[in-house]
Amino acid sequence: MLKKSLKKTNPYLKDPSLSKALLYQSVSSSTAVEGVITKYPKLSKSMEKKLKEVISVNESSASYESQK
């Protein structure tokens, strides 16, 4: 059975521009932990807003599932 890729199943990665911004943020923070300084851009205000919208939609469905 073929499994779906993370890119197809993760709601945060479905929007290409948000996905790219989150990837930069993730790589930047991960390499900083290792002591490597990178110059990836921070999330723009519009990307932060999109992320908050996705999180709020998923939080409401997650809390519903945990109450079952």
Q: What is the per-residue pLDDT across 5-59, written as a single tens digit (0 to 9) for each?
A: 888 888 878 888 888 888 888 888 888 778 877 777 777 888 888 878 877 766 6
pTM: 0.55
Range of the domain at 30: 12-66
Count CB atoms within 10 A of the CB of residue 45.
8
Q: Is residue 23 part of a domain?
A: yes
Looking at residue 61, its pLDDT comes to 57
Q: Is residue 1 part of a domain?
A: no
> What is the C-alpha separation between 68 and 48, in angstroms, rounded?
31
Q: Is residue 34 part of a domain?
A: yes
Q: Is residue 4 part of a domain?
A: no
Of the candidates 53, 24, 63, the residue with the CA atom closest to the CA atom of residue 40: 24
Q: Is residue 18 part of a domain?
A: yes
Kindly report, residue by residue over 4-16, the tens digit of the pLDDT: 888 888 887 888 8
Q: Is the pLDDT of residue 62 over 70?
A: no
Q: Is residue 2 part of a domain?
A: no
Q: Is residue 7 part of a domain?
A: no
**Domains in the chain, number:** 1
